[in-house]
Amino acid sequence: MADIPTIDSRLKAAMDTLSGCGLCGNRCGADRQAGEITICEANSMAEVSHIVVHRGEEPPISGTRGCGNVFFQHCSLTCVFCQNWQISSLNEVSGNEYTPEALAMEFLKLQEAGVHTLGLVGATSHLPTVVPALIGARLQGLSIPVVYNSGGYDSLEALKMLDGLIDVYLPDMKYGSDEMARVYSGVTNYVAVNRAAVREMYHQVGDLVVDLEGIAKRGLIVRHLVLPKGLSDTVDVLQWLARNVSKSVAVSIMSQYNPAYQACTDLFPELNQFISKSDYEYYIAVAQELGFETIFTQDTDSAAHYNPDFSLDAPFSP
Ligand code: SF4
């Protein structure tokens, strides 16, 4: 395996981004140490809103004992339908700042609590803290698989820093069209950034590999949330993945969309509805027809149950 970065080079790269950030596709170049305003609103410290055991991820991630998810504040995308909008876009719920040492301790505490996996949710903006935290935690015995759960808008320079630190990549592929990404997520280059990121993730971790309990040990799982009325370009996304990455990539085709945040207002009437069962079944059939070998699906009545409330200590409580 060529060119795995050293600990020192990772730490230097992580620190360097603070004075000219290019961690996501926005590449806004903000000097975060100097307090410059960033597009994602992240500052120089990692901000975490919740640390919880989550049982609702895909079965190889949550298993029976759950995934220890660390939910980071802010996001470089501004999805109008975001289900985590309280912590990603409006920051209605304030988070806590963490040093690398304190974050490493949280990772180890989750492992001690017995979860199958450690999930980093929305960590892209916070890699200057997350990278040294992961290195520190590994050196202190973190051994459960680390899952990097992102919107798929990570830059290649961000992902190179993570090479060898992440066991399972769990990125979104939200759209096959930059126009939809512009209207609904506020960026103009999503498709190119996303596809380059997915290729790099696959290069690093390959196909999903599970242990005897069915828990992910390593690999790529691509998530795609089906939006109403074909707005997420599902067929195009699946075709690209099958033709340009591999049919052996695990795909998680999600039916849990329900109108949240700005999508439940008059601003976006096309998003203010659920997806139809027949549309969802059609997309699953397309994935099967394309030859994907591992397809995670959801019940179409799951949509009503998936909105977290981050104003609560346990945001995924029923
Ligand atoms: S992660 Fe935030 S600060 Fe860094 S490039 Fe993206 S928007 Fe800018």
Task: Work out which ligand 1 atom sits closest to the CA atom of 25.
Answer: 6
Q: How many independent structural domains does the chain possess?
A: 1
DSSP-H helix ranges across the chain = 7-17, 59-62, 85-88, 100-112, 127-139, 156-162, 178-185, 190-205, 234-244, 277-290
In-domain check, residue 250: yes
Q: Is residue 1's pLDDT more than 50?
A: no
Name which residue leads in pLDDT, 91 or 285.
285
Closest by CA position to 28, among listed 189, 262, 196, 199: 189
In-domain check, residue 72: yes
Q: What pLDDT, on the 0 to 100 scale, is given for residue 304?
A: 59
Q: What pLDDT, on the 0 to 100 scale, is given for residue 47?
A: 93
CA of 185 to the centre of ligand 1 (A): 15
Q: What is the CATH number of the domain that holds 259?
A: 3.20.20.70
Alpha-carbon gap, residue 86 to 73, rounded angstroms: 9
> Averaged over 66-82, what is the pLDDT?
93
Which is it for strands 216-225 and 250-254: parallel, antiparallel or unpaired?
parallel
User: Tens digits of per-residue pLDDT, 274-284?
Assistant: 999 999 999 99
In-domain check, residue 312: no
Ligand 1 atom 1: residue of nearest CA? 125
Residues with CB under 6 A from ligand 1: 21-24, 26-28, 30, 38-40, 42, 76, 124-125
Q: Is residue 2's pLDDT more than 60?
A: no
Q: Is residue 303's pLDDT more than 70?
A: no
Alpha-carbon gap, residue 306 to 221, rounded angstroms: 19
CA of 77 to the centre of ligand 1 (A): 10
Task: Work out which ligand 1 atom sits closest to the CA atom of 39.
Answer: 7
**b (16+ CB within 10 A) / e for 52-73:** bbbebbbebbbbeebbbbbbbb
Name which residue leads in pLDDT, 286 or 88.
286
Ligand 1 atom 2: residue of nearest CA? 40
**b (16+ CB within 10 A) / e for 101-132:** eebbbbbbebbeeebbbbbbbbbbbbbbbbbb
In-domain check, residue 317: no
The best mutation among 18, 31, 38, 44 to test binding of ligand 1, ranked by most ligand atoms within 8 Å of the C-beta, falls on 38
| pLDDT tier for residue 37 given thresholds of 50, 70 and 90 | confident
> Averaged over 10-24, what is the pLDDT?
94
In-domain check, residue 2: no
Residue 163 structural domain:
7-305
In-domain check, residue 64: yes
In-domain check, residue 57: yes
Q: Is residue 91's pLDDT more than 70?
A: no
Q: What pLDDT, on the 0 to 100 scale, is given for residue 90?
A: 57
- Quote the distance between the C-alpha of residue 15 and its chain's center: 22
